[in-house]
Amino acid sequence: MSQIYLNSSMLRQLNHTVQAYFSDWIKMQQLTFNHTKLANSQAAMKTNSTTFLVTLLVAFVLYRWLFPACQRVRQKPAKFELPLPEAAQKNWKGKRLFPASLSNSESPNRIQCYCPATGQYLGSYPSMTEQDIDTLVSKATKAQLKWRETSFEERIRVLLSLQEYIIENQDSIARVACRDSGKTMLDASMGEILVTLEKLQWIIKNGQSALQPSKRSGPSNFFMKWYKGAEVRYEPLGVVGALVSWNYPFHNLLGPIIAAIFTGNAIVIKCSEQVVWSSEFFAALCRKCLEANGFDPDIIQLCYCSPPSATDDAANYYSSHPGLKHLTFIGSKPVAHHVLTAAAKSLTPVVVELGGKDALIALDSVKDINALSSIIMRGTFQSSGQNCIGIERVIVSAQNYDKLVSLLEQRVGQLRLGSDIDNLEDVDMGAMISDNRFEQLENMIKDAVAKGARLLHGGSRYTHPNYPQGHYFQPTLLVDVTPNMEIAQNEVFGPILTVMRASDTNDCIRLANSAPFGLGGSVFGNDYAECNYVANHLNTGNVAINDFATFYVCQLPFGGINGSGYGKFGGEEGLTGLCNAKSVCYDKLPFISTQIPKPLDYPIKSNASAWNFVKSLNTGAYTTSTWKRIKSVISLAKEA
């Protein structure tokens, strides 16, 4: 495929040409202005001056906007296609499992995939063994040796190609994600596609600058600071790994892949056994994109296996594999303990994201309660509440409590359950990934009611008349919740909206910080100073002011504290975290370099002389007294 691109040399020449043009133009404008100043009246001079300044400003803005745009579009995306699996076709009729389960007694070493919304069978896959994992890591290691030498321009072209494919195939991608997760098409579009496109676009625009060598101030030593320079260079680690959760099968898989390949790494990514079918397709999509751009697809490897058992420990083998130089884990706290224990064997660093108990705080200064209720509904029930930064608690200051509860009571009761994967019906909320937590959710609700909470809607599992095999839980509204209730302290990860009453702003903060998690949170109010005060006092890793979860969309470093884990992925920190931050010092002046002074050269001729030399050197290098520095320099000259 022959195409013409702007290469780096052409871009530099264009830059110089544009700069020269504007420089000459400015000089000409200045001459014109001076001539006008002499020839015309004061009023005419003022008019020309304003015109000149406006023209100059417009020219500057256009230059600053157009030239970076030219740089970013120096690569055109490669086109590629990928056949859709049969089950990803619209109006696909697959057989339904009775009951729907990941395991099959007839094939205990295989993972059985099905649609949680309908119970339709999607396929089965062999649970990978330790030997399989060795093969994956070996392939990735070999491919990465060449990939690490690629330029940022080449990596950006891969991301542009992936971005273009996603934009042109949104329906198919959403349908694949929905088949394997049970969510609605709208939830897939917002929670899977939008955030993935944002990550791609952000890295395409900002990734290269984030990974440029970082200039540092160098030594503060008075004698060294004049000639020693220092910087940090970001180099690929090699092969990295990620264990990602099932709730966003497209975005959670592609996020680590995008970051890994842009930083020059290969990746062996382990998906949840719940979403193997879709993960196979999405991984194949990324590999096909690499192939279309002329690169080895082996830099992306997909791993899946059954949970650890007495006879199968492949999952822990993956986490402890010495070939993986970094791990990102997204999941639950119990599983995290296994991952960290295994990773400790090979001293592999791990970023841990464990979900949260995010609070949305509504202060007395909130004016538009109806608009706020819409945000609460979306933040709570999107993806059936299976969202690590979903709204787990709504904390309302006393003035707005009753009004907000009344609004939510009306709205929650109108939600419709079902599946819109084939556009057969209009629905608001889809299925949950599994029914294995339904009893736990019901018990937490019963505990809250027994301790004084009011159950206004839902509270139990739901048998859908059209999809009896599906995993549905009723949209639930639970109000008057207090911190002593189990549901206020544990992550729900389901479609349960809990509302807590606070007496004032400080009580809102107290309630928000009462749970043992610290991932995210949000605060709403018309008094920015008050909102900022709340944000500064929330014990979380992320906060949104007058918005919900946009810290994630903004590509800020993402991660929590306390029970929500540690470390960050996303944004600049997420990219540099996948690199070896190599510290480099160098001589800024080629004719000056470090020499061993004669009093310190081996063999030491005089310990007394050497001691006096070093003492004067330390004093002169770090004293804040000019007179002491002068005396130290004189002493050094004598000892030398």
* DSSP at 120: B
DSSP characters for 14-47? Answer: HHHHHHHHHHHHHHHHHHHHHHHHHHS-HHHHHH
Integer Cα distance of 288 and 597 in angstroms: 60
> For 432-485, where are the alpha helices, taking DSSP H only?
438-450
Answer yes or no: are the C-beta atoms of 429 and 417 closer than 8 Å. Answer: yes
The CA-based dihedral angle spanning residues 143, 149, 154, 159, taken in that order and rounded to the nearest 10 degrees? 50
Q: How far apart are CA 427 and CA 328, in angstroms?
A: 34
Q: What is the DSSP string of 398-412?
A: HHHHHHHHHHHHHHH
Instruction: Please tell me the distance from the alpha carbon of residue 440 to that of residue 446, in angstroms, as a whole number.
Output: 10
How many CB atoms are located within 10 Å of the residue 128 CB?
A: 22
Q: Select from 552, 490, 539, 545 the least CA-distant residue to 510.
A: 539
Tell which residue, 389, 352, 431, 374, has the closest CA to residue 191.
389
Distance of CA 470 to the CA centre of its chain: 31
Cα 321 to Cα 57, 82, 315, 324, distances in angstroms: 57, 32, 10, 6
DSSP 3-state assignment of 94?
A: coil
If residue 455 lies in a helix (H) or strand (E), which one and from where to where?
Answer: strand 454-457
The residues that are catalytic are 353
DSSP 180-207: HH---HHHHIIIIIIHHHHHHHHHHHHH
Element housing 123 (H / E): strand 121-126
Give the closest residue to 292 by CA, choosing from 45, 81, 103: 81
Distances (CA, A) of 57 to 392, 449, 519: 48, 64, 43
Q: Work out the number of other CB atoms within 10 angstroms of the CB of residue 454.
A: 14
Distance CA 441, CA 460 (A): 8
What pairs with residue 328 in β-bridges?
242, 351
